[in-house]
Structure 1
Amino acid sequence: METTTLIPANSLMTATPEEGRQLAIKMARLIIKTTQPDAQIRENLRAVYANDAMLLLAVGHTVAIEFSTIAAANDYWRSPR
């Protein structure tokens, strides 16, 4: 059985909010891959969620939750000045 690293580089730290958002998207995709490991099934399901507004909103919500966690880990990218 293939194992998937759910937190790339084992860190939530990013240099910028943009990098944090990209990490959030990657983590959300990894969750989907872990939940449904069969690539062909995932491919077949794309047509379903691509045409369902509620499912697309759920994807956005998942990414937002991941981004919130990453932002908190990065202290919202604030540094003492």
Structure 2
Amino acid sequence: MKKFLLIPAMFSLMIGFAQAADSWLPTLKTDTPEQGFQLAIKMSRMGVKTAQPNMDVLKKGRAEYSNDAEDLIQVSHVVATNFATVAAANNYWK
């Protein structure tokens, strides 16, 4: 049940981030696919930081998930999903 309650809270935090005057994400537009991929990584990292703002807790978990193949595959999936979003926003760099 807690997982379902966390999603709306994360969404409102992310909306608050996007509306800030000094937004870290002013646009999804990039000049190249490589820049788009870097943006997808940044989006993924910011999502994690939004979900777990306590840096001590966040860093403590790295030793565990950085050596777990399933966790790394899940990370890749999140980055790929974000990259698909950025690619679509850039009309696939056509």
Alignment TM class, shorter chain as reference: 0.7 to 0.9
Normalised by the size of structure 1, how large is the TM-score?
Answer: 0.86
C-alpha distance in structure 2 between counterparts of 1:47 and 1:9, whole Å: 28
| Bigger relative contact order, structure 1 or 2 (CA pairs below 8 A, ≥6 apart) | 1
Q: Which residue of 2 aligns with 1:50?
A: 66
- Pick the aligned partner of 1:30 from 30, 39, 46: 46
Aligned-pair Cα RMSD in Å: 1.6
Choose between structure 1 and 2: higher helix proportion: 2
Q: Tell me the CA shift for residue 9 of structure 1.
A: 3.6
Deviation at 1:10, TM superposition (A): 1.9
- Could you say which residue in structure 1 is the equivalent of 2:33? 17
Offset, 1:69: 0.3
TM-score (norm 2): 0.75
How many corresponding residue pairs?
A: 76
